[in-house]
Chain A
Amino acid sequence: MDIRFEEAEARFDGRIVLHPLTLSLSERRIGIIGLNGSGKTTFARMINGLVIPSSGHVVVNSFDTSKDGEKVRAETGFIFQNPQNQIILPILKEDIALGLKNRKLSRQETDVAVARVLQRFGISHLAGRRAHELSGGELQLAALASVLVTEPDILIMDEPTNQLDLKNRELVKRTIEGLDENIMVISHDLELIEDFDRVLLFHEGRLAADGRPADTIRRYRELTR
């Protein structure tokens, strides 16, 4: 994984949401923390090209997000805050297969890939289920399967344990711990990212701290006092 922000800034309607930022990211597990409205989701969305910098550049695995959007999105999977909106088709196996349409696979190859990713997350029994019938934890696993079936290099998750009960939170936490992919997790759940390789703290649209989890989390607590 090689992500570079080069004086990248994000503005919405003239308002600066993320001040010019320069940094490189290559660690396998990166956490992103900060108060609501601090710019962390915008930062994450800039990585997969959902938000294009108003000035500067974001380069992901040598692809510029403002020029090579499709290639960048093939490199980065994104799990949204509300996985319900992530699942586009109502039946889980159909939705996972939808992500493979542009691979020009045969029906049999698609079925095999879908079965494999469902098995990976232990949700093969949910293949024919409707998304609205799934629990919060199952829905997160379904969203993970729908994104990871395309085998992106980097996976970005926006508050994956948000609104989950304790049982489902533990299920999602264990699943994240077991992922082999490069992952970036935005979270208010500090326990989730406390053993990550690197944690970034955003505050009022600026990078306020960047380093080992314990140091960054301590700085975050100081900011919120």
Chain B
Amino acid sequence: MKTLYVEGDSLLHRLAPRTKLLGLAAAGIALFLFRSIPPLALAAVISVAIYASLGIGLRQSLARLRPIFLTIAVVALFTLLVGSVEEAATVLLRLTSLMLLAAAVTATTGIGEFIDEITLAAWPLERLGLVKAADIGLSIGLVIRFVPEILDRYHAIQDAHRARGLKPRVLTLAVPLIILTLKNADEIAAAIDARGIRAQR
């Protein structure tokens, strides 16, 4: 059961989750309003400074950010091929800044806090009789919590293939992964019921 949250006492850790999420949304909008390189470069420098202030360490940071950064690099490269250097640089700086800011919020906000904020945000929908806000919060919290675990399970199945000298194939990886994930989801659902967590209103 892994988490992207990092224990710490930085300024961002101490900020209220709502402030961080609203700040992230505002920064996301602002980044897409800037179209020239100097303000985006400044935003990238500030984002790097914010992320560095968390004290996560270079190696762990690279491990966390590499997959997203590679995706950004591919998008920037594609922009370079079909557009100009300036456009590619704009995409690279904008998305990198956004990635670092989102990663900083994720690393400093526990899933419990996310659940509380999402539940609060969904409250108007509950007033309209459309959903149960607590269920929405719990569901999204569980998605955030499950993603690293499903990845772990995928790697474990890959290892099991290698240990038996089998070549991993899409079908032989996907079927056990789906079965194990569903089985685990059943057990988690039973635990949620047993602990009366869904009764929260």
**Cβ–Cβ < 8 Å partners of B7 in chain A:** 128
A85 near B187 with CB under 8 A, answer yes
Task: Closest A residue to B193 by CB, please name it.
Answer: A50
Q: A73 in the interface, Cβ–Cβ < 8 Å?
A: yes
**Cβ–Cβ < 8 Å partners of A168 in chain B:** none
**Cβ–Cβ < 8 Å partners of B17 in chain A:** none
**Cβ–Cβ < 8 Å partners of A130 in chain B:** 1-3
Contact with A102, one of B145, B190, B199 (Cβ below 8 angstroms): B199
How many whole Å from B18's CB to the nearest CB in chain A?
14
Q: B134 in the interface, Cβ–Cβ < 8 Å?
A: yes
8 Å CB interface, A65-80 against B: 70, 73-74, 77-78, 80
- Size category, B interface: 20 to 34
Task: Closest B residue to A146 by CB, please name it.
Answer: B195
Q: Given the interface contacts A88-B142, A132-B1, does A94 sit within 8 Å of B195 by beta carbon? A: no
Interface of B is mostly: helix
A73 near B111 with CB under 8 A, answer no
Contact with A91, one of B5, B197, B200 (Cβ below 8 angstroms): B5
Task: Closest B residue to A83 by CB, please name it.
Answer: B191
* Contact flags B185-201 to A (C-beta < 8 A → 1, else 0): 00110111111110111
Task: Closest A residue to B110 by CB, please name it.
Answer: A94
Q: A174 in the interface, Cβ–Cβ < 8 Å?
A: no
**Cβ–Cβ < 8 Å partners of A150 in chain B:** 195-196
Contact with B190, one of A77, A80, A131, A147 (Cβ below 8 angstroms): A80
A89 near B195 with CB under 8 A, answer no
Contact with B197, one of A88, A90, A131, A132 (Cβ below 8 angstroms): A88
Q: B172 in the interface, Cβ–Cβ < 8 Å?
A: no
Q: B55 in the interface, Cβ–Cβ < 8 Å?
A: no
Q: Given the interface contacts A82-B187, A94-B112, does A101 sit within 8 Å of B3 by beta carbon? A: no
Task: Closest B residue to A127 by CB, please name it.
Answer: B7
Q: B139 in the interface, Cβ–Cβ < 8 Å?
A: no
B196 near A70 with CB under 8 A, answer yes
Q: Given the interface contacts A88-B142, A91-B112, does A48 sit within 8 Å of B134 by beta carbon? A: no
Docked CA distance A89–B197 (Å) = 12
Q: A164 in the interface, Cβ–Cβ < 8 Å?
A: no
B141 near A89 with CB under 8 A, answer yes
**Cβ–Cβ < 8 Å partners of A99 in chain B:** 195-197
* Contact flags B167-195 to A (C-beta < 8 A → 1, else 0): 00000000000000000100110111111
Docked CA distance A130–B110 (Å) = 11
A89 near B111 with CB under 8 A, answer yes
8 Å CB interface, B113-147 against A: 115, 134, 141-142, 145
Contact with A98, one of B3, B112, B193 (Cβ below 8 angstroms): B112
A residues lining the B interface (CB < 8 Å): 48, 50, 70, 73-74, 77-78, 80, 82, 84-91, 94-95, 97-99, 101-102, 128, 130-132, 146-147, 150
Closest 10 CB pairs of A and B: A90-B3, A94-B112, A102-B200, A101-B200, A78-B194, A85-B187, A73-B196, A131-B1, A132-B1, A70-B199
